[in-house]
C-alpha cells in the first residue's frame, strides 16, 4: 500500500562496483537523499512537495580498496607520479565519509534476485556476508588482464606493481614492443614514448589498419596511425606475432627474439601484450540476466529483463551492460546517473503511486576519443578531428582524471603531467 504523502521512506541500495558507473549512482543518490536535484542532471529535476523524503542507505562493494582511473591506465603504467594519483582509496573520498554511504572491500559471489539478497566474500578471507537490499546495481565492468590494467587490489600493492613495470620499460635497452593496435595498445605505446623519449617504442598489429575490431571510419583509423608515427613510435602493420623468446644480450641485458608470421624478426627488451578478450565480471548473476558473453541484458531504462525475478529492482550500467556503442567512461557515468534517477522514480511510484518517468538509453553509434601522446583523435560517423587542441578538449592535461572527478562532483585536484608536453 502506498505511503502517506510526504512520509519519509528508507531505501537500501547495493552497488556492485565502485568505478565510473557505480560512483555515478552513489553521488546522485546522495543528492536525492539530501533532497536536492542530482548533480549530473542536464535539466532541472524539481523535488515536488507531495513526494516522500527518500533516505538512501547505500552500500558499495568493490574488489579494490579504491577507484582506479582506467582511462589513464596507459599513463599510470608509464609515469610513477601520475600513477600515484590515478588510484584514490575509498577512505580518502569525501563521498565515502557520508553517514549513509558505506564501502565494503570484497566481491559479490552470488545474488538471489527473488529474495533480494547478495552474498559477498570479504577481501582476503573466505568469510561470506549476506547483504539485503531494496535495489541492486551491477556496475562491475570488465575483467581486464595485465598489462591493460593493474591487477592489484590494494593501493600499496598497486604502486609496487606499476613501479616494477615502469622500471622494466626504462631499462629496455633494445626497445619496448607493444603487440596490439587497439585503443589500449596505441595509447600505451604513445604514452611510453612521451614519458621515455629516449626509449625505442614499437607497435605491431596483425591487420593493415589500427582499431580493426572497432566499427570506426577509415579516416579515424588512418589518422590514429599518422599520430602514432608523429609520436615517434615505430609501427609494424600487417605483422602477426608468432613467438618471442627470451635470450641474453652480449652486454647481459634482457632481450627477446621476436618473430612474426611473415618472417620479420626484431629484438626487444620488453614485450607488452595489449591484446585481451576482456570479460564481464557478472558470474554472480542468474543465467537469465546475462548473454553468452557474460554481458548483462538490460532494458532501455537499465533494468534487467522482465524474465529475471524482481527485474524492476535490479539495474546495470557501464561496461558490463549489453548496449550499443564503444565502451567509454562517459557512457558509464551517464548510465549511473540514469539508474539513480530511475531508482528514485520507482521509489516515488511505490510510495504514492505516481507514474514513473524513467530515463532511458538510446542507440549509441561507434565513436571514440583517444589520446596519442601530445595529440588526440576524436571520431564519430560524421567527422574525425585530431591534434593537441583535441587532447586538451577531451582529456585536459591528465587524461581526463580531473575531468572525471569534476563530472562526478568529487573534489580531486588536477594531476600534473611531469614530462614534456605541448599543453
Query: For position 176, what pLDDT does the model report?
Result: 98
Query: For position 6, what pLDDT does the model report?
Result: 58
Query: For position 307, what pLDDT does the model report?
Result: 96
Q: How far is CA 113 from the centre of its chain?
A: 25
Return all residues near 160 (Cβ < 8 A) that are at least 6 apart. 152
- Model pTM? 0.94
| Cell numbers given for 145 | 588482464
Q: What is the mean pLDDT of residues 71-78?
A: 96
Which CATH code, of 3.40.50.80, 3.50.50.60, 3.40.190.10, 3.40.50.720, is assigned to 163-277+367-399?
3.50.50.60
Query: For position 394, what pLDDT does the model report?
Result: 96
Which CATH code, of 1.10.287.3510, 3.30.930.10, 3.50.50.60, 3.10.270.10, is assigned to 9-144+278-352?
3.50.50.60
Residue-range domain boundaries for the chain = 9-144+278-352, 163-277+367-399
| Cell numbers given for 345 | 522514480
Q: What is the mean pLDDT of residues 50-57?
A: 95
Per-residue pLDDT at 421 exceeds 60: no
422 or 250, higher pLDDT: 250
Q: In terms of C-beta density within 10 A (0-12 exposed, 13-18 middle, 19 or more buried), how is residue 1 classed?
A: exposed
Per-residue pLDDT at 305 exceeds 90: yes
pLDDT category at 423 given cuts 50, 70, 90 is: very low
Query: For position 415, what pLDDT does the model report?
Result: 52
Query: Among the listed ranges 2-11, 51-60, 198-207, 361-370, which one has the minimum average pLDDT value?
Result: 2-11
Query: For position 413, what pLDDT does the model report?
Result: 52
User: Residue with C-alpha cell 652480449?
Assistant: 250
User: For residue 331, which of 345, 344, 321, 343 has the smallest C-alpha distance?
Assistant: 321
Q: What is the mean pLDDT of residues 358-383?
A: 96
Query: For position 109, what pLDDT does the model report?
Result: 97
Task: Give the rounded percent of residues in the chain with a pLDDT score beyond 90.
Answer: 88
From residue 36, alpha-carbon distances to 39, 96, 369 in Å are 9, 18, 33
Q: What is the mean pLDDT of residues 11-24?
A: 98
Strand 270-273 versus strand 176-179 pairing type: parallel
pLDDT category at 358 given cuts 50, 70, 90 is: very high
User: For residue 130, which of 142, 148, 115, 118 has the smallest C-alpha distance?
Assistant: 118
Per-residue pLDDT at 1 exceeds 60: no
User: Residue with C-alpha cell 627474439?
Assistant: 257
Query: For position 250, what pLDDT does the model report?
Result: 80
Q: What is the mean pLDDT of residues 4-25?
A: 90
User: Residue with C-alpha cell 603531467?
Assistant: 417
Q: Three-state SS for 19?
A: coil
| 9-144+278-352 and 163-277+367-399: identical CATH topology | yes
Task: Give the rounded percent of residues in the chain with a pLDDT score beyond 70.
Answer: 96
User: Residue with C-alpha cell 595498445?
Assistant: 185
Q: How far is CA 262 from the centre of its chain?
A: 35
Query: For position 5, what pLDDT does the model report?
Result: 54
Query: For position 418, what pLDDT does the model report?
Result: 45
| Omega before residue 147 within 30° of 0, cis | yes
Q: What is the mean pLDDT of residues 351-369?
A: 95
The mean predicted confidence, pLDDT, of the chain is 93
The CA distance from 235 to 205, in Å, is 8
Query: For position 197, what pLDDT does the model report?
Result: 97
Amino acid at each position: 500500500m502506498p505511503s502517506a504523502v510526504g512520509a519519509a521512506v528508507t531505501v537500501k541500495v547495493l552497488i556492485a562496483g565502485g568505478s565510473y558507473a557505480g560512483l555515478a549512482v552513489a553521488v546522485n543518490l546522495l543528492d536525492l537523499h539530501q533532497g536536492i536535484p542530482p548533480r549530473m542532471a542536464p535539466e532541472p529535476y524539481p523535488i515536488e512537495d507531495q513526494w516522500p523524503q527518500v533516505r538512501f542507505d547505500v552500500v558499495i562493494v568493490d574488489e579494490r580498496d579504491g577507484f582506479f582511473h582506467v582511462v589513464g591506465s596507459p599513463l599510470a603504467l608509464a609515469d610513477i607520479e601520475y600513477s600515484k594519483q590515478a588510484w584514490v582509496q575509498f577512505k580518502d573520498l569525501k563521498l565515502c565519509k557520508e553517514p549513509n554511504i558505506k564501502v565494503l572491500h570484497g566481491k559479490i559471489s552470488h545474488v538471489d534476485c527473488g529474495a533480494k539478497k547478495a552474498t559477498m566474500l570479504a577481501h582476503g578471507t573466505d568469510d561470506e556476508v549476506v547483504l539485503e537490499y531494496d535495489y541492486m546495481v551491477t556496475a562491475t565492468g570488465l575483467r581486464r588482464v595485465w598489462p591493460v590494467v593493474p591487477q592489484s587490489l590494494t593501493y600499496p600493492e598497486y604502486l609496487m606493481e606499476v613501479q616494477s613495470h615502469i622500471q622494466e620499460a626504462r631499462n629496455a635497452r633494445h626497445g619496448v614492443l607493444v603487440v596490439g593496435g587497439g585503443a589500449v595498445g596505441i595509447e600505451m605505446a604513445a604514452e611510453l614514448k612521451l614519458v621515455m623519449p629516449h626509449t625505442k617504442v614499437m607497435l605491431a598489429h596483425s591487420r593493415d589498419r589500427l582499431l580493426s575490431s572497432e566499427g570506426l571510419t577509415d579516416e579515424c583509423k588512418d589518422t590514429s596511425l599518422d599520430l602514432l608515427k608523429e609520436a615517434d613510435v615505430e609501427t609494424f602493420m600487417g605483422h602477426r606475432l608468432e613467438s618471442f623468446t627470451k635470450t641474453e644480450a652480449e652486454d647481459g641485458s634482457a632481450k627477446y627474439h621476436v618473430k612474426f608470421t611473415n618472417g620479420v624478426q626484431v629484438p626487444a627488451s620488453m614485450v607488452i601484450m595489449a591484446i585481451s578478450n576482456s570479460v564481464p565480471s557478472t558470474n554472480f548473476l542468474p543465467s537469465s540476466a546475462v548473454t553468452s558473453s557474460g554481458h548483462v541484458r538490460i532494458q532501455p531504462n537499465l533494468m534487467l529483463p522482465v524474465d529475471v525475478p524482481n527485474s524492476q529492482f535490479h539495474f546495470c550500467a557501464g561496461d558490463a551492460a549489453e548496449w550499443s556503442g564503444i565502451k567509454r567512461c562517459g557512457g558509464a557515468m551517464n548510465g549511473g546517473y540514469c539508474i539513480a534517477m530511475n531508482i528514485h522514480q520507482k521509489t516515488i511510484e511505490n510510495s504514492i503511486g505516481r507514474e514513473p518517468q524513467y530515463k532511458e538509453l538510446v542507440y549509441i553509434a561507434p565513436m571514440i576519443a583517444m589520446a596519442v601522446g601530445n595529440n588526440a583523435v576524436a571520431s564519430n560517423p560524421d567527422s574525425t578531428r585530431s591534434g593537441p587542441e583535441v587532447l586538451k578538449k577531451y582529456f585536459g592535461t591528465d587524461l581526463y582524471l580531473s575531468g572525471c572527478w569534476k563530472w562526478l562532483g568529487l573534489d580531486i585536484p588536477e594531476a600534473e603531467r611531469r614530462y614534456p608536453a605541448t599543453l
